[in-house]
Every structure is written in C-alpha cells, then in structure tokens.
Structure 1
Amino acid sequence: MPLAAEQAGGLPALTDDDRRRYARQTILPGVGEAGQRRLRAARVLVIGAGGLGSPVIEYLAAAGVGVLGIVDDDVVEESNLQRQIVHGVDTLGLPKVDSAAQAVARINPTVRVEPYPVRLTADNAVDLFTRYDLIIDGADNFATRYLVADAAELTGRPVVWGSILRFDGQASVFWPGHGPTYRDVFPEPPEPGAVPSCTVGGVFGVLPGMIGTVMAGEAVKLVTGVGEPLLGRLLVLDAARGVWRTLAVSVDPDRRPVERLADDYEVVCGTPGGAQGAAVTVERLAGMLAERDAGRRALTVVDVREPAEHAAGHIPGAVNVPLSGVLDGSAALPAGPLALVCRTGVRSARALEALRARGRADALQVIGGTLAWARRIDPTLTVV
C-alpha cells in the first residue's frame, strides 16, 4: 500500500521531461507512472543534513520527490567532508540546509527544498511533522532520535531511521499504528558515555552512504508502495566484515503510548547514571554563570578536554583539567560546585560518573558541551 493514498487520477501529471528523466524508474514493475506521480506529490522531511542525510537528500532529489524539507542548525565544516557528500569545499561555512539545497538544485531543479536552519525541539517538532507525509531520521544523537520517535507517534507519521558508528550501521522503518516504533525497539536511551558519538568514536567514511542509500530506498518504497519496507525488521551492517543481518522487531504490547513530548530531551537522554539534576543544558549553564557573576551562586566550569582543545576556544572562565586526571584521581579539582564540560558531552559524562563515585555530589555535566555552547550561546567560539 503506497504512503500516498490518493488515486493516480488525483496526483500531478508527468510532463514529457519527467518521462524522459525517470524512464528507468517508471519501467520498474510496481512503480510505473502512478508511482512516479506519487513521488512528485510527496512531502518528505529529512532530519539532519550530515552523513546519513547526504545520500538520502541526493537520492530522493534524483528520484523526483516533490518537496524535501531539511532540518539542520549546523554549518559545513572541513571535518564533515570525509563522509557528508552533499557538501563540498565550495560550501564550507554555509548552513548545511543551504549547502544541501544547492546540491538538490544541481541534481534536480524540479524538486522544491524547504530549509529549516534550526534545531529540532519539542517546541517545533509536532508542527513540522504535520506538514509532511514521511520523516527521515538521520540524527546523530539520542535526544533527537527520541524526540523524532515521540513526535512521529503523536502525529502518526512513518519514520525511516538509520544509525551509524565506527564500522556499524542500522536501518529500519517505524510507523505508529502499522508496526513497531523506535521506542518499542529501544525503550530507553543508553547511559551517557556508553555509546560514543562519531566525533569521539569515529566513522568509516563510506558507511553513511551504505546506510543512507538504504534509507532513501525505504522512503521511495513507502511513497510508491513498491516492494516490502523494513517495517518490523532491523537491518544491521558490519561494514568491517561486509556482513548484513536482518533482525525481527515487534510492537511492545506493554509499552505506554506517548501522550506528550518531554520538555527537554537532552536532559531525558543525557542525565548520567540517572542522577536527578546531574545534567544541565547550555542555556541553563549560561543562567547559572550569570548568577555566579552577580554573586548569587558559586560555580566553576571545568573543561575536561585536552589542553590544545581548551586553548583553541572554551567557555569563558573555564579551567582546564584533562579527563585522564579526573578519572585516575590525580588532578586537583577546585572546591565547590563544578560544571563539567567537554566537546559534546561524552567525556564530561565519564568525568561526572567518576566524581560521583568519589562522593562529589556537587558536580554537574553540561549537555552538548562546548559544541552546543558555540551553536546556541556564542557562535564566535572556536571548537576543535
């Protein structure tokens, strides 16, 4: 059953140019002109214009999807170019949504791009999702993944999901009411630090292409109705060994349905060890620092990155205590409340765990680290 429920007669007609462009696609059994017209009518929202979003955006543009919404609040950096193929040296420094829109225009100018250079949040997710037929989750963090899952459940939207790290990748289709959702398969986020980000753990450069093209294929299948989507199945890739596996997944009958979005998914997914109040957002940290500067609070920001990283750019007033010294107890830490920060939050979560084990109940972790601070508080901050 195609995602677009309209009959072919109610869908936009193909032009002669369309018939020439999509000739190799429309001759496929089960696609035909009706399938191509469904693609032309489809509105697809892509979360993230990074590693996974790159091949998804390019292939959906080439396939002739009518409207591509792209959500990403980041800019193109040189370290992205190893795997985020929708961007190039000519778009360094541009917002990723603008860089991706330029690529779509080169591939297929008939596709309309709706760029959203913002962060997906609990405030905008439901509104955005209701504007589109299908959601592509190419996010690189658990907070966004759970937000996507919950907003999709509230709006009834199907989600094509993918995840990558090092040499491993996964892909599936989650559709509330038609099969399992992300929360059926992954009920709770992992402990902070248990799964490193690609920034810390690395990623095989071609892996996003391998998983991202699978995701693009699932989107085309859902829109046209051709083939069998990965609904109820989890595709797992070990790229180092060249092994693909398919695991069956199902709806959890005991899971409580999502009734509302959480207020802050970064806190929900980033509180180390489940310690209440142990994690703060960069916005909250900025407020705490203002209170400190006004003499109403004691607080020291401790940057647990390496000295070269700290020297390149850090939150104002942060003292540098590398993670190794925190973990082995050799570092002399300031007395009083501490706010631990690193680049993304992975290392600070490890530092917090070590300090809490030693009884430092006055330590906090800054979710998203200096990277979040640069994106949402001080765009002039240099982060390496």
Structure 2
Amino acid sequence: MGGAGERRETLVVELERLRAEREELDSRIRTLESQLEASSAAGGDAAGAGAAAAACPRRPGNGFTPYDGLSADMIHRYSRHLLLPDFGVEGQRKLSRSSILVIGAGGLGSPVALYLAACGVGCLGIVDGDDVELNNLHRQIIHKEAYVGLSKVKSAADTCREINSSIMVVEYHHTLKPCNALDIVRKYDIVVDATDNLPTRYMISDCCVLLNKPLISGAALGFEGQLTVYHHNGSPCYRCLFPNPPPVAACQRCSDSGVLGVVPGVIGCLQALEAIKVVTDVGEPLSGRMLLFDALSARIRIVKIRASSAVCTICGENSVFTQEDFQKFDYENFTQSPMSDKSVPSLDLLPESARVTCKDYKKLVNNGEPHLLLDVRPAHHFQIASVSQSMNIPLSALEEKLHMLETSLKETMDASSSNKPPSVYVVCRRGNDSQRAVQILHEKGFLSAKDIIGGLQSWAQEVDPDFPIY
C-alpha cells in the first residue's frame, strides 16, 4: 500500500509540473500570435481596417469571406443569431468586427466577458489588476478554484478562449488609472464599466467622454442592481447626474455590505446585452433611461434620467477639461475614497493611551485580567464569527443599550477576586467603528474603554490565524 501511495504522489507531482509547463507554453504562444497579428495588421492597408482593428487584430477563424459572406464555421456557430430577423447576418457581422473593453473581471465583468466571447465579439479587452480569491467565486463565475491566487485577467481570458477560440482576447494585467486609461480605451469601440468603486466610475466616464465612447455602466450591491448607457445618443455622462460625489458614508462596496451572487450576474448579463445592442444598432439601448433591479421582489423598473447637462464640467458645451487635465486628475481625492477595497482608509480618532494592539490584548487575556470585550459589529456580522466571551452591542444601538454594558461590567466585577474595576475593550471588523464606539463610551463616562487596533482582521493576522476573515 505504501508503494502505491508514493507512486500516486509522484504521478500527481509530475502532472502538476507538466500542466505548469503547458500553461507557460500556451501563454508564450498567445503572446507571439498577438505580436504577429499586430504586425500583419500594421503592415497592411490601415484605411479599411480602422484603428480598433489595428489595436485588436482578429484571428482568421472569426473573419469573413472576401464578399462579406459568413464562413461555414461562423454560420454553424452563430446560427441561432442568424435566425433572428432583427439581428441576422448584418448584426453578427457588426458584432464580429467590433472591439469591446470590459473594465473589471469580477461579479459584473464575469458574465459580460463570457457572453461577449460566446456571441462572437471581434476583439475583447479585459482590464483588472487583482488576483482571484476564494471569496470571489460565489459571484465571479468566470473563475475556477484552480485559479485562486492567480491573475483575474489571465483566468478570465483563458475561460473566454476556451469558449470561443476564434475571437481575439487582449489582457491588461493592471488597474486602470488616469495615466494609462486613455491609451487603452481609445483602441475600443465600446466600454463596459464592471467596477465597484466611486473614483473609478468617475474616471471611466470622464475618459469615455474625452474619447467619445459609449459607456455601459452597471452596479450591484446587496439584493439590488442598476444599469444604464452613458454618453450615447444624447444620454448624460456620469458627472451630469452626479457632479459632486456623495458622502463617503453613503458609498458602499460588496466587501463591506455583501451581495447575493446572482445579482451581479443578472446585471452583468444585461450589460452584455446593452453592449451588443449598441454595437449592432439593434433594439433600443438604455440611453437616457436607467434600469433598477430588485432581486427580493423580482421587480424591474425603468426610470427616465435627464439628458446631457449643458453645464457639465466634462461633457458640457463649454467644458475645458482636456486629456492632459484627465491624466493629472486625482479621482481618489475628489471622491475621498480609494479605488481598491484592499486599501480601506483607517481612521485615527483616539490617542495612543486609548488603544491597544491585538497582541497586547491577548496578553491580558492570558494573564487573566478581568475585563469586558465589547464587539460593536452588526448582529449578523457577530453571527458569522466572534471572539469567545465577547459581548455584542452594535454601534448603531450603543447609546440606547448602555445599561446592558453597565450590567455586564457589574457581573464581571462581582465574579472577579480583584478590587480593580474591569476595563472595557472594544473590537469591530477592521478597527474603525470600534474607535467611534470608544469615543461615545468616553463621553458617557466609561473612561476605561479602549480600542483594539485593526479589529478582528488584525486579530486573525497577528494572533489567531484560524479565525475566519470575511
């Protein structure tokens, strides 16, 4: 039995080695193919090809015959499209000659990229600077467990190529920023915003206005989603609707508030649909209208939004915002929020004397020092995971439930052999709400209250690696 086990382990190791070599070879082949096709496109007749075609060369398998008829393979692959009277050969021809950029390979970008690839878009660009994480997979259906820890763009591009090897997929393994956005976006006919943060939304919209590109914008949070088409057929840009960013407290992300996995899937499918409608001139795109989706009630509403604003600082008649201004603009400072949820701003509201590190708190627990641990996260967060012996009073209800804290402190004092009054240590998810709670407690006379720096996230990193991070 031991020999069989060792043999199996050897085979598994060898298999993994060969897979890694194949992956590297595939990557090199794709790179060389792209370079070769780009060179061929640049050396040919550029007048008929167009700028997007030069930037995004297509593979021969997705092309047309010299007389603009569809190849036999394309007729077979896209036959269900061709049977639609309002789409037909002309719709497929336009789609197969188009180039669409998807910014974000997450919950929204996954179905967008999958459907555009499957439907036969000529060139599909994908931009994302993040890696695949396990907690992405419930909603980011383009990725597989095997890609956890690897680039999202690589994972998404590989999946798209597996679905349709005849299309060109261009990978951008970095975050879109003002310094690189213009060069990337200008190569594409249509842009799909599949991101989830405020500064990036403003940046993408401004970029599309400057380059005169239609923008398919979607959002999903919790059980709700929305969708519209900006800067197309007289529709407004993002800044027309929101000239000033909302307060930071009003800006929520999936990483903070959660999202049901299928909700971005629904919105992402609709984004792919709108992109196809815009590029093929089929149907009535959501220009000047916004779709609102409520998953819990299964309701979809379409509301009218105003036309482009004549006084918009970006797309208005007298706008002086240039490409040079765009490249210098600080979108994070403008919105007071980060582009990445990996860099959540950390508050600094308390003096050092009112704060302790997770390691210091662990030491006082080990020493048996009488105290009370107050967890101020919402109740449903507390149900996910908590430190033993902690008491939960959500920050939103803290002032009205101070009597519960007083009762618990008295019980802790009565159970202790020490004459020293027990201290209160406050913890939250990341160390921001706990500081606010300590401020409230100090104002209400609980002067011993101290904040645990970094919250449960730091607790998992510094003290208990088995504590679940969510």
Q: TM-score, normalised by structure 2?
A: 0.59
Matched, 1:251 2:302: no
In the alignment, what sits opposite 1:121?
177
In the alignment, what sits opposite 1:236?
292
Q: How does 1:15-30 map to 2 (within 5 A)?
A: 15-30=71-86
Please list the CA deviations of residues 98-126 of structure 1 after superposition, one character each: whole Å capped at 9, or x if unmatched: 00011101111111111111111110111
The secondary structure found in structure 2 opposite 1:153 is helix
Please list the CA deviations of residues 82-139 of structure 1 after superposition, one character each: whole Å capped at 9, or x if unmatched: 0100001121111000000111011111111111111111101111111111000000
Matched, 1:92 2:148: yes
The secondary structure found in structure 2 opposite 1:193 is helix
Structure number with greater CO (CA < 8 Å, separation at least 6) is 1
CA distance, structure 1, for counterparts of residue 169 and residue 199 of structure 2: 25
CA distance, structure 1, for counterparts of residue 170 and residue 106 of structure 2: 16
CA distance, structure 2, for counterparts of residue 332 and residue 350 of structure 1: 9
CA distance, structure 2, for counterparts of residue 54 and residue 5 of structure 1: 23
| Matched residue type, 1:208 | P
Q: Show structure 1 runs of 5+ residues with no match.
A: 273-280, 286-298, 312-320, 334-340, 359-369, 371-381
Matched, 1:54 2:99: no
State the identity %. Answer: 39
CA distance, structure 1, for counterparts of residue 302 and residue 148 of structure 2: 38
The secondary structure found in structure 2 opposite 1:140 is coil
Cα RMSD after superposing both structures: 4.3
Matched, 1:267 2:267: no
Pair 145,32 (structure 1): closer, same or farther in 2 beyond 3 Å:
same
Q: TM-score, normalised by structure 1?
A: 0.71
Count of aligned pairs between the two proteins: 320
In the alignment, what sits opposite 2:133?
77
The secondary structure found in structure 2 opposite 1:28 is coil
| Matched residue type, 1:207 | V
Matched, 1:167 2:223: yes
Aligned-pair CA distance for 1:234: 0.3
Say which is worse superposed, 164-173 or 191-200, in terms of deviation.
191-200
Aligned-pair CA distance for 1:185: 2.0
Q: How does 1:210-221 map to 2 (within 5 A)?
A: 210-221=266-277
Work out whether residues 162 and 215 of structure 1, in 8 Å CA contact, stay in contact via their aligned partners in 2: yes
Work out whether residues 134 and 159 of structure 1, in 8 Å CA contact, stay in contact via their aligned partners in 2: yes
- Determine which structure has more spread, i.e. the larger CA radius of gyration: 2
Work out whether residues 49 and 70 of structure 1, in 8 Å CA contact, stay in contact via their aligned partners in 2: yes
In the alignment, what sits opposite 2:46?
none
The secondary structure found in structure 1 opposite 2:293 is strand
The secondary structure found in structure 2 opposite 1:99 is helix
The secondary structure found in structure 1 opposite 2:266 is helix
Aligned-pair CA distance for 1:193: 2.2
Q: Show structure 2 runs of 5+ residues with no match.
A: 1-50, 54-63, 316-320, 363-373, 378-392, 400-422, 443-456, 458-467
Q: Which has the higher helix share?
A: 2
Say which is worse superposed, 52-61 or 168-177, in terms of deviation.
168-177
Pair 39,177 (structure 1): closer, same or farther in 2 beyond 3 Å:
closer
| Matched residue type, 1:23 | S
Work out whether residues 52 and 188 of structure 2, in 8 Å CA contact, stay in contact via their aligned partners in 1: no
Aligned-pair CA distance for 1:13: 5.1
Pair 349,147 (structure 1): closer, same or farther in 2 beyond 3 Å:
farther
Aligned-pair CA distance for 1:353: 12
Say which is worse superposed, 213-222 or 33-42, in terms of deviation.
33-42
Work out whether residues 105 and 152 of structure 2, in 8 Å CA contact, stay in contact via their aligned partners in 1: yes
Please list the CA deviations of residues 121-161 of structure 1 after superposition, one character each: whole Å capped at 9, or x if unmatched: 11011111111110000001011101001111111110000
| Matched residue type, 1:228 | E
Matched, 1:31 2:87: yes
